[in-house]
Amino acid sequence: MKGYPRIPIIYQQQDTHEERKFGLRPPEALRVLVERMKGVDWLVKHCMLAFDDNWPTASQDIAIQSRGRRWYDEIKERDKRFVIQGCTSIDKQTGRIGITIYRPGFDNERVLAEEIYHVVFGIIRKAKPTTYQATQRWHKNRLKKGTDPTVCLDEAFSKSMALEESGKGTDLPPGVVRHARRLFSPACRIPASVMQNVKANWSLI
């Protein structure tokens, strides 16, 4: 429909001799989630989505931040590299929050869900103090039980919500799960001032 706002979707593909897995459409495994994104007001207005055909390798710092020191040490011992499946950052050209999914994440809906919930966490942190405090308490309790302390709150929350989206229960408080899901729904409207604040403080998330 003319004039209807849409979330920008970018396809960055390598030219290879193989037949391309998809044209200018999301990978099959991610299409339901992408359609859901298109109906969420703050995602449409303030975010963009990119599918990148590359297989980037993460630095040691990024791998540890994402999965934790214990996991990284195990991977290193087995002489394997950590391939980035998705990332979220501020796009300097547009000012939007850019969600990028790389080739290794094309077949895994949880990868895209995790990146979306990174943004949801940013909204919670800046605008939903009660829910944010609940996630802090949850994270502290997990650390007391022996969870890897190198995995930050943002990563722990996003991974848990991605599991919740896939139908697997987690130890996240039910109230936090419900609130996070409401934020990622067509019924949610986030003021532009809040989203600008989230973007301005993105490096602090």
Closest Cα to residue 49, out of 112, 120, 131, 128? 112
Instruction: Please tell me the predicted confidence (pLDDT) of residue 1.
Output: 37
**pLDDT mean by block of 10 residues, the chain; 205 residues:** 74 56 78 96 97 88 77 71 91 95 96 98 97 98 94 95 96 98 96 96 75
The count of domains in the chain is 1
User: Which residue, chain included where needed, has tokens 């949801």?
Assistant: 120
Instruction: Please tell me the predicted confidence (pLDDT) of residue 180.
Output: 98
Q: Which domain holds residue 105?
A: 9-204
Instruction: Please tell me the predicted confidence (pLDDT) of residue 25.
Output: 84
Q: CB burial class (10 A; 0-12, 13-18, 19+) of residue 50?
A: middle
Question: Is the residue at 164 inside a domain?
Answer: yes
Question: Is the residue at 3 inside a domain?
Answer: no
Cα–Cα distance, 180 to 184 (Å, whole number): 7
Residues 6+ apart with CB under 8 A from 152: 65
Residues 6+ apart with CB under 8 A from 125: 132, 198, 205
Instruction: Please tell me the predicted confidence (pLDDT) of residue 76.
Output: 75
Question: Is the residue at 4 inside a domain?
Answer: no
Question: Is the residue at 63 inside a domain?
Answer: yes
Instruction: Please tell me the predicted confidence (pLDDT) of residue 4.
Output: 60
Question: Is the residue at 127 inside a domain?
Answer: yes
Question: Is the residue at 2 inside a domain?
Answer: no
Are 13 and 161 spatial neighbours (Cβ–Cβ below 8 Å)?
Answer: no
Instruction: Please tell me the predicted confidence (pLDDT) of residue 71.
Output: 66
Instruction: Please tell me the predicted confidence (pLDDT) of residue 205.
Output: 54
